Structure 1
Amino acid sequence: MILLILIFAGCKREAPVINLEQVKNREAQKIIAPGMGTIGIIHDNEIFVYFLNESHNWILDKVSQFVIPEKSEGVLALGMGFIGVLEDQVMNFYFLNAQNQWTLDEQVMFVLPAKYEKVSVMRIPWDVGQIVIEEKPGVLNFYYLDEFGRWMRDETASFEVPGKIDDYFMLGSMEIGIISENKLGVYRLTETGEWLLIDDAVLILPENTLAVMAFEPGIMAVLNDNKMLQFYDLDPLEGLWYMDESMNFTIPDFD
């Protein structure tokens, strides 16, 4: 019996760390957007960070790699260089300091509910994003960080996900992307607290789309079956999508 236990323990593997926002998209679980215009790739319990230079080439930032703490269950990017790390329902937060060192913020943490469907981030321009929890199927609640470092629920921003959709994601700036039948629609929170569908912001996604994810507020990335991210920018005035081919990012192969 002891021998069997030792064999089982030796064969046991820890679950790989994933981007919690992509829990339902297996193909995109190793991709994350830490903010400040960067893309992160999770590999061997590290996040390798890439930035776009002036020549529109993606460059590996060798000084900004993030070593994911042991026993982590997943990571979450809040923008502005903040990364949340989940362990036993508690999310701790790390930020990149002036010396390019990832530092634990000992003043801030977020306790997730015992049961929930999905956790996301609503990215906010020039600020730390809001944490969005689907605590009950189809109901999204929003939590913002106040000036005292406390996560407070935004009572004015609850959102009911439309039925019979394929997926949803937080586009940023209080806009939510809804994906259904290979089409993308956008809901925007108005000043009166209503979520309204933007009629002109419907985008037909490429047929080879594997996943759609947020990049920066108003900018999303589409992962295709060629392991490439293509970026789309939503014009806030016209409500139209524009693809920026100069930002195409090919997922690196570490194997």
Structure 2
Amino acid sequence: MKTQNPLFPVIMMLMILVAGCSPRYESNINLEQAHNPAARHILAPGYHTIGIIEDGVMKVFFMDEDSQWIADSGSFFHLPENNRGIVAMGNGIIGVAKNQLLTFYHLEDYQRWVVSDLPVFELPRRYDRVVSMEMSDRSACIGIEKGGLVLFYRTTDDQWQQDERNNFLIPQGISGYYPLGDLTIAIVDEHRLGLYFLDPEEGWDFMDHDSFVLPLPSEYEGVIPLDKRLVSVLKDGTLMFYYLDLFEDRWVFLEDLHFKLPAR
């Protein structure tokens, strides 16, 4: 009869502890909405499109000339197995997290997704959310949320470098924060959406003027940024759109536009 190795119970206990301490991440979700089950399957790839994640596929919808939302099967993106989520960068670019790496793809000719020229980003072992801060022809910027602080990384000379000057400390007590592009962050507190702008000299500056505050409807389910200064608010399975008009310093409700989420 074989004698059990006296170290076996210790080894098993260590394996259990390591497994318990390892972070768990869900697949097929929008990493910017990881905290919100009602909206984690919705994202905005750019070019005024809406993406809906369903059964491992990001289905892309665009608006036709009659202001109707149409599913474009040629632009669907099949997420790889065992992914850790997806982040929409804008301008037709998405990032897919897998094996601690964030690999980027862009929509070529509105027909197919190909690997982007953006360098692959190595994700930290632990993080809470991944958010898109900026996507332009010159550079890209993403934020990694860890423990109430958003750390920014920017592309420089074909590599990602941390931008330590502009870390964003998430205000305590808010319901959520949502990057709007152009280094602008929206925060939600008690059904009111306010804005932080990044001042190159002073850092993050809260715009406390009432005209920059967007009252949110009661019982809303989520806020999903769509494009620069364009947000959608989810309520009763429908996205309603609001645009920040900087010329008039006010939010404009685009009442002729809405997107009814497909049945799941």
Same fold per TM (> 0.5)? yes
Q: Which runs of 5+ in 1 are unaligned?
A: 1-13
Alpha-carbon distance change, 59 to 126 in structure 1, aligned in 2, over 3 angstroms: farther
> How far, CA to CA, are the matches of 2:56 and 2:99 in structure 1?
17
Alpha-carbon distance change, 253 to 194 in structure 1, aligned in 2, over 3 angstroms: same
- Within 5 Å, give how 1:71-220 maps onto structure 2: 71-98=82-109, 100-105=111-116, 108-124=119-135, 129-135=140-146, 137-146=147-156, 148-198=157-207, 199=209, 200-220=211-231
Q: CA RMSD in A?
A: 1.9
The Cα of 1:107 is off from its aligned counterpart by 6.3
- Whether the aligned pair in 1 keeps the contact of 2:75 and 2:110 (CA below 8 Å) is no
Name the counterpart of 1:8.
none
Alpha-carbon distance change, 99 to 19 in structure 1, aligned in 2, over 3 angstroms: closer
| One-letter amino acid of the counterpart of residue 206, structure 1 | P
| One-letter amino acid of the counterpart of residue 76, structure 1 | V
> How far, CA to CA, are the matches of 2:71 and 2:112 in structure 1?
16
> How far, CA to CA, are the matches of 1:107 and 1:24 in structure 2?
26
The DSSP-based 3-state class of the residue aligned with 1:154 is strand
- Within 5 Å, give how 1:34-49 maps onto structure 2: 34-49=45-60
| One-letter amino acid of the counterpart of residue 149, structure 1 | D
Alpha-carbon distance change, 187 to 84 in structure 1, aligned in 2, over 3 angstroms: same
Q: When the two structures are aligned, how many residues end up with a matched partner?
A: 238
- Bigger drift between 173-182 and 234-243 goes to 234-243
Name the counterpart of 2:256.
246
Alpha-carbon distance change, 227 to 29 in structure 1, aligned in 2, over 3 angstroms: same
Name the counterpart of 1:58.
69
Structure with the greater alpha carbon radius of gyration: 2
- Whether the aligned pair in 2 keeps the contact of 1:123 and 1:216 (CA below 8 Å) is no
> How far, CA to CA, are the matches of 2:136 and 2:164 in structure 1?
21
After superposition, give the CA deviation of every residue in 1:226-248 in whole Å (9 maximum; x if it has no partner): 20001110112333111102220
- Whether the aligned pair in 2 keeps the contact of 1:78 and 1:128 (CA below 8 Å) is no
The Cα of 1:96 is off from its aligned counterpart by 1.7
| One-letter amino acid of the counterpart of residue 236, structure 1 | L
After superposition, give the CA deviation of every residue in 1:95-143 in whole Å (9 maximum; x if it has no partner): 12237221123762111111222211114456664211112x2211111
The DSSP-based 3-state class of the residue aligned with 1:114 is coil
Instruction: Report sequence identity in percent.
Output: 36
After superposition, give the CA deviation of every residue in 1:165-220 in whole Å (9 maximum; x if it has no partner): 11111011111111111111101112314211112311110002101121001111
- Whether the aligned pair in 1 keeps the contact of 2:31 and 2:130 (CA below 8 Å) is yes
> How far, CA to CA, are the matches of 1:127 and 1:38 in structure 2?
22
> How far, CA to CA, are the matches of 2:110 and 2:198 in structure 1?
37
